[in-house]
Amino acid sequence: MSNLILIRHGQSVWNLQNRFTGWYDVALSDNGLLEANKAGVLLKKLHIKIEFAYTSYLRRAIQTLEIILNVIKDQYIDPVKAWELNERHYGNLTGLIKNEMKKKLGEEQVKILRRSWDIAPPELGLEDEFNPRLDEVYKSLNPKDIPNTESLKDTYDRVIPYFEKNIKPKIFDNKNVLVVAHGNSLRALCKKLFDISDKKISELEIPTGNPLFINIDSEFNILDSYYLDESRGQKLLINE
């Protein structure tokens, strides 16, 4: 058996400000730092050996993983950073305050742009200050791999192939794997793992800094799944 642990990064500065963040690189808030530490404490209590760890190219996820590994003292792990695990790109919504956009566009339209399966926001301009193409960390990527906007389906289409190629074989090999990523990249992954429908996936909420523990057998059947902090757990919408 293998254990897969999924963690959304701790609260970021822009989470606190209620802004659309996407691929823009912001740090954890003070509360986010505490959430990351608590996630590490919860993992340490499991007394299991984490053998592989994956995260995105974004600082808020990297910070969260670093804090967790420091708490559980598994610093011999060499974390893998993958842009495929980045948050969904929010296009020209990036940096905007969600409540202000609800007043401007209406709550239903913002909900569609945020949570629909296959509708993406308008593209972010190539010279926009928030465009990741201006970030040195992406200079080695094929420009075609850097989106200007994404739907959740677009996010799914990059997260799942990466998972299938790089992470799933570790699980088949009975290794314990930790993935620290983002609300939408983990939503995409949970859609696959728990067979959540296109319609229902919009209802899936993933709390910040709360480890989702998934026990998987050698044939990749999920035997059990639950949030370690039960007080902040969310319904997984399994097989709905």
pLDDT greater than 90 at residue 195? yes
Active site residues: 9, 87
Q: Which single residue is written with the structure tokens 């420091």?
A: 70
pLDDT greater than 90 at residue 34? yes
pLDDT digits (tens, 9 = 90+) for 65-112: 999 999 998 657 889 999 999 999 999 999 999 989 888 888 888 888
Q: What is the pTM of this model?
A: 0.94
Taking residues 167-192, what's their average pLDDT? 96
Residues 73-81: contacts with CB under 8 Å, at least 24 apart: 73/44, 74/49, 74/50, 77/50, 77/51, 77/52, 77/53, 79/53, 79/54, 79/55, 80/52, 80/53, 80/54, 80/55, 80/166, 81/54, 81/55, 81/56, 81/57
> How far is residue 166's CA from residue 162's CA, in Å, rounded to a whole number?
6
pLDDT digits (tens, 9 = 90+) for 147-172: 999 999 999 999 999 999 999 999 99
pLDDT greater than 90 at residue 115? no
Taking residues 204-226, what's their average pLDDT? 93
Give the model's pLDDT for residue 239: 47
Q: What are the beta bridge partners of residue 52?
A: 177
- Name the CATH superfamily housing domain 2-232: Phosphoglycerate mutase-like (3.40.50.1240)
Going by pLDDT thresholds of 50, 70 and 90, the confidence category of residue 237 is low
Side-chain-side CA neighbours of residue 123 (13 Å): 6
